[in-house]
Amino acid sequence: MSLFGNKAGKRLKLQHQEKKTSLHCCVPLCTNSSRYNSILSFHRFPVDEEVKSVWTAKIRREDFSPTDGTRVCSVHFLPGDFVGPRRLKKGAVPCLFAWNKFSIPTPRLNVWQRHPRPPTPELLPADTSEEEDSVQPMEVTVTDHDYCVTPNTSVVVYELTRENEKLREKIEQLQHQLESLQLRSTFGLQRIAGSDEDIRFYTRFASYKSFLAFWKQVEPAANTKFVRISSANAASANAASGIPHRATKLLLVDELLLFLMYLSVGLPLRDLANRFSIHRTTVSRIITSWTHFLYHLLGSIRLWIPPEDVKAHLPPEFAAFPDTQVILDCTEICCQTPSSLLLHSEVYSSYKSHTTFKAMIGIAPHGPITFVSPLYAGSMSDREIFKLSGITKCLTPEMAIMVDKGFLVDNLVAGKVYRPAFLVKNTQMAKEDVQRTQSIARLRVHVERCIRRVKENKQFEKVIPLSISGSIDQLFSVACLLVNYQYGPLVKAWATQQ
């Protein structure tokens, strides 16, 4: 028994099926199908994009994108568009549609309908000649597919337009979120460029503007020193040129940021590797390269200021000590305890009660660092470091130095030595010595403030492992030299004098 009942089955039998396949015309208001009509031909959209776009415009279907199975029947082409019964000419375009007042002709009658049959006597009226002459071919009313005809087209179009606008807005939001996620997934200068607070935290520079000013000074030398090429051509480039070549995906400015983060924040190599999405050995190589590079670049700039320039920028607080050239003091950083007892005794500092490295730093009276000594063993005295540092070669008889009590260097320099007075034989200190000691202490404290800026780098707050003892001297010197670029004057009132 038929699933649709007897009546539905009879209706299906009345349609003569001519083909098993079914191709439908995609033109609106056209219901031609190849299953029940073998006379018509159904044509694919042309491969040429220009002709294809003309076909799409002619058909007038909204949001329509033809596929390989989309067809247009031969009814919509002119007779001159065909070469043979079913082959279209190249460049032919459909132009016959219901909206340009073209009525689809009645399909060709089959043999049963074309041949006349003798009329049945009981149904034939007396005079049928006039009626036969008056019979006109019945006009076929064509209905479109269900998916093309809607009761309220304007309302549907309006709703579709609103929905498209909402989808566009959502796509823009998703694109913005994707860009934000991509920016957060990789750490770099662009991520912190909008926040001066982040710049100060990660680099110790006062602002993004001051960081860019420093980068513009070192960029030409960095581009000459570090030539970036792909890893595939690294071997050939190394053989052809003596300039060191490195293959890395980080920009040079991001490598500088990585080095400053290692120095300022004291992040371990694994953390930096995860932040910048590179290997830990690459992080170690970048830190070593930038340490040597900045040590030679910043060290090549003259730090020692001539006496006339020092006097030209001398703060008024130094009126009692007008010939002061440099203020000196020593500082220590803790290091890992060595296993050798002999080495342990050399680097052990009784002042810090720990194994340390010791260096001497000198600043001009108006604040900038003008002298940095190498790192020495923590057991050495201030006088011995003063002697080995080489500063005596820079001093002349007209230059005076200001030091702490531990610097007993009067016989090592030709000029004056401003140092707090000692209390001799447990007697009360004279009034003049008290006033002089207070004046020197108020001025000498600035070198301690400058040393504190250097040691604000978190890398020096940790115990320095002996594995990096070969490069710690250069790293400490770079940290001291960077203070002149990262910070402003020690005293705000001295800003106009520098």
Residue 496 has pLDDT above 70, yes or no: no
Domain range enclosing 94: 5-134
Task: Lowest mean pLDDT of 18-22, 32-36, 126-130, 433-437, name the range.
Answer: 126-130
Query: What secondary structure letter does DSSP report for 439?
Result: H
For position 160, what pLDDT does the model report?
84
- The two three-digit tokens of residue 24, written as one number: 């439908």
Model confidence band, residue 451 (pLDDT cutoffs 50, 70, 90): very high
Domain edge (last residue) among 134, 158, 180: 134
CA distance 235 to 237: 5
Residues 362 and 490 occupy one common structural domain: yes
The pLDDT assigned to 425 comes to: 63
pLDDT over 90 at 354, yes or no: yes
- Which one is predicted more confidently, 214 or 112? 214
Averaged confidence pLDDT in the chain: 81
**Phi, psi (degrees; rounded to nearest 5) at 325:** -100, -40
Q: Could you tell me if 359 and 341 lie in one domain? A: yes
Examine the domain organization and report whether 253 and 336 are in the same domain: no
- Greatest Cα pair distance, the chain, in angstroms, is 161
Q: DSSP states of 449-465 as a string?
A: HHHHHHHTSGGGTSPBP
Rounded to the nearest angstrom, the gap between the alpha carbon of residue 352 and the centroid of all alpha carbons in its chain is 44
Q: Are residues 267 and 346 in the same domain?
A: no
Domain assignment of residue 156, yes or no: no
Residue 123 confidence class, pLDDT cut points 50, 70, 90? very low
Please, which pLDDT band fits residue 8 given cuts at 50, 70 and 90? very low
With vertex at residue 494, the alpha carbon angle to CA 493 and CA 498, rounded to the nearest 5 degrees, is 150
Q: What percent of the chain has pLDDT over 90?
A: 40
Q: Tell me whether residue 164 is in a domain.
A: no
- Give the pLDDT score at 301: 86
Q: What is the pLDDT of residue 212?
A: 94
Query: Are 270 and 317 found together in one domain?
Result: no
Of 282, 299, 316, the residue at which a domain comes to its end is 299
Q: How far is CA 62 from the centre of its chain?
A: 40
Check residue 109 and give its pLDDT. Answer: 62
Residue 310 has pLDDT above 50, yes or no: yes
* Residue tagged 């250069």 (tokens): 474
Q: What is the pLDDT of residues 239-275, one digit of tens each?
A: 444 544 455 678 899 999 999 999 999 999 999 998 8
Closest by CA to 354, choosing from 376, 386, 379, 329, is: 379
User: What percent of the chain has pLDDT above 70?
Assistant: 78
Whether the pTM exceeds 0.85: the reply is no
Angle between helices 280-299 and 472-486 (to 10 degrees): 60
Do residue 484 and residue 348 come from a single domain? yes
Neighbouring-strand partners of residue 463:
none
Same domain, yes or no: 219 and 80: no
Please give the average per-residue pLDDT across 37-62, as a whole number: 87
Residue 131 has pLDDT above 60, yes or no: no
> According to the model, what pLDDT value does residue 113 have?
67
Can you tell me the distance from the alpha carbon of 117 to that of 105, in angstroms, rounded to the nearest whole number? 24
Which tokens sit at 337? Answer: 């305890």
DSSP letter at 395 equals -
Q: Are residues 247 and 347 in the same domain?
A: no
Q: What is the pLDDT of residue 65?
A: 87
| Distance (Å, whole) CA 469 – CA 375 | 10
Residue 288, domain member (yes or no): yes
Residue 333 and residue 453 in one domain:
yes
- Domain for residue 344, yes or no? yes
Give the confidence band of 203 by pLDDT, cuts at 50, 70, 90. very high
* Residue 177 placed within a domain: no
Last residue of a domain, one of 118, 134, 150: 134
Q: What is the structure's pLDDT at 234?
A: 42
Tell me if 433 is assigned to some domain. Answer: yes
Higher pLDDT, 234 or 451: 451
The better pLDDT of the pair 267, 111 is held by 267
Confidence of residue 405 (pLDDT cuts 50, 70, 90): confident
Question: What is the three-state SS of 120-170?
Answer: CCCCCCCCCHHHHHHCCCCCCCCCCCCCCCCCCHHHHHHHHHHHHHHHHHH
DSSP-assigned letter for residue 248? -
Q: Which element (helix H / strand E) includes 355? A: strand 354-363
* Strands 369-372 and 354-363, bridge-based pairing: antiparallel
Q: Running DSSP on this structure, what letter comes out for residue 75?
A: G
Q: Is the Cβ–Cβ distance between 320 and 439 less than 8 Å?
A: yes
Give the closest residue to 453 by CA, choosing from 491, 480, 477: 480
pLDDT category of residue 187 using cuts at 50, 70 and 90: confident
**Mutual orientation of helices 269-276 and 280-299 as an angle, nearest 10°?**
100
351 belongs to a structural domain: yes
Tell whether 264 and 320 lie within a shared domain: no
Q: Are residues 105 and 232 in the same domain?
A: no
Helix axes 472-486, 208-225, angle to 10 degrees: 140
CA 489, 309, 218: angle at the middle one, nearest 5?
Answer: 60
pLDDT value at position 3? 37
Q: Which pLDDT score, from 0 to 100, does residue 31 have?
A: 84
- Judge whether 140 lies within some domain: no
Q: What is the CA radius of gyration of the chain?
A: 46
Q: Are residues 102 and 205 in the same domain?
A: no
Residue 278 has pLDDT above 80, yes or no: yes
Q: Is residue 475 within 8 Å of residue 346, measured between CB atoms?
A: no
- The residue among 212 and 40 whose pLDDT is bigger is 212
Residues 6+ apart with CB under 8 A from 154: none
Q: Give the residue-averaged pLDDT of 394-421.
A: 90
Average pLDDT over residues 162-171: 89
Number of domains the chain contains: 3
Per-residue model confidence as pLDDT tens digits over 316-349:
889 899 999 999 999 999 999 999 999 999 999 9
Note the pLDDT of residue 183. Answer: 56
